[in-house]
């Protein structure tokens, strides 16, 4: 299978599987799992936080973050396109009674600080209490600049807001900016990292923050049924992902650019309205083409895509090679 739908489809490599079978484990709810403890300690130090917690998914990491920063009747500011507003089943509102206040994302993925300022509620019994600003990097494959992150930090201090980063793909941002991850993480009170996307681990995310914050998140994780027992079997490949699979993300970014260039040569395909920033390619497709049936044809050849017309998305990752891209392009050429 050559699967362009997402970087979540990556298969754990042989070394990861070996680490999984040999991982030292214990009951993590008792704090006894050496592999989980090592990952949580290592990740906290590596990213410049006091503590971290290993959780089942990026969605759970974001939910724990919002519920740890906010109480019932508080609100968080976020992007209209934010994963933790749009794609997490309204979890913060449903499970935490925390109100989202979405703001339209700018073209570069950022949130305009002037618009955010207007959205902060006055201290008045009519309103929810604005407590948190949540950013996302990368967002739709776009990288927020370090200058913007510094401005967001000052903004959060000025308005006494906590600042969270949904960093599901934050390593793609660091690699694209060619900076150490701490250049990004230093600006935030809390941050998530997905180990199961481009980094290639099978399962899991990290949430990072202060000791008190992570302690609160740990209680909430238990409440949500998210505490796992011999979770070291998952933490071990997660740590491998963070130590071995970061620098290679540049290949995914190069491949994404290559894919975009090749798609542009096909009649009826245009990436002109977009730019490739990291590992995500968007393309507009001529409505004359029956992309649904093309997608079904491709599937018979072992090539999987998510069909669409406006801004159809392709994602590159470690299991997509140049050769795989050439196969896709030559298959598409025969249908267009
Ligand atoms: C994938 C993703 C998540 C959620 O991660 P899951 O592990 O799929 O729950 C959160 N935020 C962003 C930006 C993501 O891309």
pLDDT tens for the chain, 336 residues long, are: 999 999 999 999 999 999 999 999 999 999 999 999 999 999 999 999 999 999 999 999 999 999 999 999 999 999 999 999 999 999 999 999 999 999 999 999 999 999 999 999 999 999 999 999 999 999 999 999 999 999 999 999 999 999 999 999 999 999 999 999 999 999 999 999 999 999 999 999 999 999 999 999 999 999 999 999 999 999 999 999 999 999 999 999 999 999 999 999 999 999 999 999 999 999 999 999 999 999 999 999 999 999 999 999 999 999 999 999 999 999 999 988
Q: Give the pLDDT of residue 335.
A: 86
Question: Among 2.30.250.10, 3.40.640.10, 3.40.50.2020, 3.10.330.20, what is the CATH number of 13-244?
Answer: 3.40.640.10
Cβ-based burial of 245 (10 A; exposed 0-12, middle 13-18, buried ≥19): buried
Topology classification of domain 248-333: 3.90.1150
Q: 267 C-alpha vs ligand 1 centroid, how far in Å?
A: 33
Which of 196, 197, 238, 279 for mutating ligand 1's site (highest number of atoms within 8 Å of CB)?
197
Q: 57 C-alpha vs ligand 1 centroid, how far in Å?
A: 7
Q: 241 C-alpha vs ligand 1 centroid, how far in Å?
A: 16
Q: Which residues of 249-286 are buried (b: 16+ CB within 10 A; e: fewer)?
A: bebbbebbbbbbebbeebebbebeebebbbbbbbbbbe
81 SS3 class: coil
Q: Give the pLDDT of residue 293.
A: 96
Q: 287 C-alpha vs ligand 1 centroid, how far in Å?
A: 30
Instruction: Please write down the HEC assignment for all residues of 203-272.
Output: CCEEEEECHHHHHHHHHHHHHCCCCCCCCHHHHHHHHHHHHHCCCCHHHHHHHHHHHHHHHHCCCCEECC
Q: 54 C-alpha vs ligand 1 centroid, how far in Å?
A: 14
Question: Domain coordinates of the chain in residue numbers?
Answer: 13-244, 248-333
* Distances from the Cα of 211 to the Cα of 74, 76, 123, 215, angstroms: 22, 21, 29, 6
Evaluate whether 82 touches 66 at the Cβ level (below 8 Å): no
Cβ-based burial of 10 (10 A; exposed 0-12, middle 13-18, buried ≥19): buried
Calpha distance 70→96 (Å, rounded)? 8
Which residues does a 6 A CB cutoff place in the pocket of ligand 1? 57-59, 62, 83, 136, 166, 168-169, 194, 196, 205
Q: 52 C-alpha vs ligand 1 centroid, how far in Å?
A: 17
Q: Give the pLDDT of residue 100.
A: 98
Q: Which residues of 190-219 are buried (b: 16+ CB within 10 A; e: fewer)?
A: bbbbbbbbbbbbbbbbbbbbeeebbebbbe
Calpha distance 135→314 (Å, rounded)? 23
β-strand partners of 136: 166
Of ligand 1's atoms, which has the minimum distance to the CA of residue 58? Answer: 5
Calpha distance 250→248 (Å, rounded)? 5
- Short-list 233, 245, 210, CA closest to 53: 210
Write the pLDDT tens digit of every residue in 254-298. Answer: 999 999 999 999 999 999 999 999 999 999 999 999 999 999 999
Q: Of all protein residues, whose CA lies closest to atom 8 belonging to ligand 1?
A: 58
- Short-list 53, 22, 57, CA closest to 214: 53
């Amino acid at each position: 299978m050559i699967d362009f739908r997402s970087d979540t489809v990556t298969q754990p490599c042989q070394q990861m599987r070996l680490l999984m079978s040999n991982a030292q484990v214990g009951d993590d709810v008792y704090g006894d799992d050496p592999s989980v403890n090592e990952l949580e300690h290592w990740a906290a130090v590596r990213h410049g936080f006091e503590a971290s917690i290993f959780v089942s998914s990026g969605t759970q990491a974001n939910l724990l973050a919002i519920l740890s920063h906010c109480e019932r009747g508080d609100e968080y500011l976020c992007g209209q396109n934010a994963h933790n507003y749009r794609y997490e089943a309204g979890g913060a509102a449903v499970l935490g009674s925390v109100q989202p206040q979405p703001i339209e994302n700018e073209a570069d993925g950022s949130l305009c600080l002037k618009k955010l300022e207007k959205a902060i509620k006055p201290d008045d019994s009519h309103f929810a209490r604005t407590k948190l600003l949540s950013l996302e990097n990368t967002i739709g494959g776009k990288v927020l600049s370090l200058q913007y992150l510094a401005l967001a930090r000052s903004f959060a201090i000025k308005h006494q807001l906590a600042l969270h980063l949904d960093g599901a793909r934050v390593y793609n941002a660091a690699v694209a900016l060619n900076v150490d991850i701490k250049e990004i993480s230093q600006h935030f009170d809390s941050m998530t990292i997905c180990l199961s996307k481009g980094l290639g681990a099978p399962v899991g995310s990290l949430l990072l923050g202060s000791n008190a914050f992570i302690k609160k998140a740990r209680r909430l994780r238990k409440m949500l049924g998210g505490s796992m027992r011999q979770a070291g079997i998952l933490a071990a490949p997660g740590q491998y992902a963070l130590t071995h699979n970061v620098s290679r993300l540049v290949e995914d970014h190069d491949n994404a650019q290559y894919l975009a260039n090749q798609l542009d040569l096909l009649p009826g395909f245009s990436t002109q309205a977009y730019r490739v920033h990291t590992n995500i390619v968007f393309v507009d497709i001529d409505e004359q083409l029956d992309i649904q049936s093309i997608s079904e044809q491709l599937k018979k050849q072992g090539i999987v895509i998510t069909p669409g017309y406006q801004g159809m998305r392709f994602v590159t990752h470690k299991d997509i090679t140049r050769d795989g891209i050439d196969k896709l392009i030559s298959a598409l050429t025969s249908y267009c």
